Structure 1
Amino acid sequence: MLERTFAATPDRVFAAFTQAQHLKHWWGPRGWTLTHCTVDLRPGGRWHYCMTCIDPTQGDFHGMNSWGLGVYERIEAPTRLTYTDHFSDEHGAVNDQMPATLADLTFEAVPGGTRVTSRSTYVRPEDLQAVMDMGMLEGIAETWDRLAEHLS
């Protein structure tokens, strides 16, 4: 579980998580940018995106594309968002060789802004270990730092 308070209303924070015009400004760790982002915000709808490494200091990662596909399951604007995040290709075909993440986010108004709580669930313990080994925890920390900057 990850939790962070952002200095913005639940409506603004929820919009940042669900609208392409916002996601393009903050989704991904530092040195990466969204070069493709489409959002169909409805249960069963898809969020298809590509993160591209634009940081030449990241060695072999520089110029790399990482495609993802989120499939929305539950949408209760602006308080809850649940989706399964898959690795995919540029056509949105799911890569079954990589672990999928069931992401359940809540957005709660608190003094000073909105507390976002993210609970990620994996089918097998090995799937969680695989994403941890990829640096996902560091990546999400940088991503949420970028979200805080975008909202300010």
Structure 2
Amino acid sequence: MSDNTMVSRVENERVLVLERVFNAPRDLVFKMFKEPEHLKHWWGPRGWELPICKVDFRVGGVWHFCMKCVDENQGQFFGMESWGKAVYKEIVEPEKIVLVDSFSDSEGNTNESMPSTEVTLEFIDLGGKTKLVNRAEYVSAEALKTVIDMGMMQGITETWDRLEERLNEVK
């Protein structure tokens, strides 16, 4: 796998695995996922900002955020807000983060009509570079199809591109 190329595969019809190598040390890549001042710069697809980002980075802690479309060229999405909530299940710094990611409202209540995902992020040290492996497990193949049909693959690709740009700014 070359830098900046995301590799994806589906396992068991309900697990999406994404991998990408970032040209930055593992400690720095890990820090991008734990500190709100970094997340605000890269989380979300292009044209979206993170005006609200509250992180309680500990097992049992919650990351509650709002993505807002600020790009007028995105038509009907302009001005739209998308709220999310993640609950941390396991943290092994700087190697792994396990969380349950859900759609939510502004109060942090989970939107039960949308699929939640158990996400395992692995940060693999490649001697100055970092391989990020994102393993997202859904309750069913239908739940995975729902988020893919919503454009999640384009969104995560743009998000990880923005992560690469942020890493280049701070290293």
Q: Same fold (TM over 0.5)?
A: yes
Distance 1:77 1:69 in 2: 21
Cα deviations by residue, 1:72-101 (Å, 9 ceiling, x for unpaired):
000000000010110000010000000011
Partner residue in 2 for 1:132: 148
- Is residue 48 from structure 1 mapped to residue 61 from structure 2 by the alignment? no
Distance 1:85 1:11 in 2: 23
Distance 2:59 2:89 in 1: 5
- Is residue 3 from structure 1 mapped to residue 10 from structure 2 by the alignment? no
- Is residue 104 from structure 1 mapped to residue 149 from structure 2 by the alignment? no
Partner residue in 2 for 1:28: 44
Distance 1:85 1:107 in 2: 18
Which of residues 129, 135, 144 is equivalent to 1:119? 135
RMSD: 0.7
Partner residue in 2 for 1:94: 110
How far does residue 52 in structure 1 lie from its aligned partner after superposition? Answer: 0.2
Identity of aligned residues (%): 51
Partner residue in 2 for 1:149: 165
Q: Equivalent residue of 1:37, what SS?
A: strand
Q: Which amino acid aligns with 1:67?
A: W
Which of residues 71, 87, 93 is equivalent to 2:87? 71
Q: Equivalent residue of 1:139, what SS?
A: helix
Judge conservation of contact 2:54–2:64 (CA < 8 Å) in 1. Answer: yes
Judge conservation of contact 2:57–2:88 (CA < 8 Å) in 1. Answer: yes
The number of residues matched between the two structures is 152
Q: Which runs of 5+ in 2 are unaligned?
A: 1-16
Partner residue in 2 for 1:15: 31
Q: Which amino acid aligns with 1:72?
A: Y
Q: Equivalent residue of 1:146, what SS?
A: helix
How far does residue 8 in structure 1 lie from its aligned partner after superposition? Answer: 1.2
How far does residue 124 in structure 1 lie from its aligned partner after superposition? Answer: 1.1
Q: Which runs of 5+ in 1 are unaligned?
A: none
Distance 2:108 2:25 in 1: 32
Judge conservation of contact 2:26–2:128 (CA < 8 Å) in 1. Answer: no
Change (3 A) 1:49 1:29: same
How far does residue 19 in structure 1 lie from its aligned partner after superposition? Answer: 0.8
Q: Which amino acid aligns with 2:66?
A: C
TM-score of the pair, normalised by structure 2: 0.87
The runs of at least 4 consecutive aligned structure 1 residues that moved more than 2 Å come to none
Distance 2:137 2:58 in 1: 21
How far does residue 112 in structure 1 lie from its aligned partner after superposition? Answer: 4.4
How far does residue 111 in structure 1 lie from its aligned partner after superposition? Answer: 3.8
